[in-house]
Amino acid sequence: MKIDLALMPFELEKKDLRGKAVAVVDALRATSTMVAAFENGCSAFIPVSTVEEAMQLAALKKDPDLLLGGERKAMPLEGFHLGNSPRDYRPEKVRGKVVVLTTTNGTQALLAARKAAEVFIGAFLNISALSGRLQETGRDVIIACSGEKGLFCLEDTVCAGAIIDCLEQEGVSVSKSDAAMAAKVLYEFYEGDIYGMLAGCDWGQYLESVGLGKDLRICAQVDSSRLVPVYREGKIFLDR
């Protein structure tokens, strides 16, 4: 299996996604929140780029089972039902619901990945399950880091390294690009303290500063879930 990495979403435009499996990672917090939401019975997400698009879609559908979720600068949006904190997505709020989601980086990375043959949602929460799913595809893999406003971020790259490490631990013969090798080395440096890495990175410090520090503990729960949401035909859902 060949593994490459997009350290930032714009790199996806430069890569040939045809026939590839892409794992999109936004460890803080969008993809972690999605996994947590599915654990709590959420039925699907529809990722969209802008707040206006999200509102238009909700107005068009007029469906009581459709909720609006998302953030800007990590804060919930006015008139939306949910923010982007995994703690918002409690069973009583999200069971059976479809969430139209717009976030600063995570949903943009997902939209950029949609030309791939298969797209999966990755986070520290589902590393092993995701690794299994990637192996099943038999495809070459690109891990798409969501980054921060188009720039590199540490937490997604370390998470990508964790996925690569897991594949290798499971005996998969992995041919790594330079970016994939760099991610693996970063993961080896931080693997003993994923929470510490999340608390020390730029976005983790920002989340702490705006009172969302509790989310870091949740996003650091390595392998707490066996769920691997897929992004297909505009929707994120569980296909098994």
Binding site for ligand MLT (CB under 6 A): 26, 28-30, 71, 74, 84, 103-106, 146
In the complex with ligand MLT, which residue's Cβ is closer, 108 or 131? 108
Phi-psi region of 150 (alpha: psi -120 to 50; beta: other; left: phi over 0): left
Least CB distance to ligand MLT at residue 59 (A): 23
Least CB distance to ligand MLT at residue 125 (A): 14
Least CB distance to ligand MLT at residue 170 (A): 28
In the complex with ligand MLT, which residue's Cβ is closer, 5 or 167? 5
Least CB distance to ligand MLT at residue 152 (A): 14
H/E element holding 181? Answer: helix 178-190
Instruction: Extract the tokens encoding 83.
Output: 């923010």
Pairing mode, strands 175-176 and 118-122: unpaired
Please give the single-letter amino acid code of residue 146: S
Cβ atoms of 202 and 75 within 8 Å: the answer is no
In the complex with ligand MLT, which residue's Cβ is closer, 105 or 221? 105
Q: SS3 of 155, please?
A: helix
Cβ atoms of 213 and 207 within 8 Å: the answer is yes
In the complex with ligand MLT, which residue's Cβ is closer, 17 or 201? 201
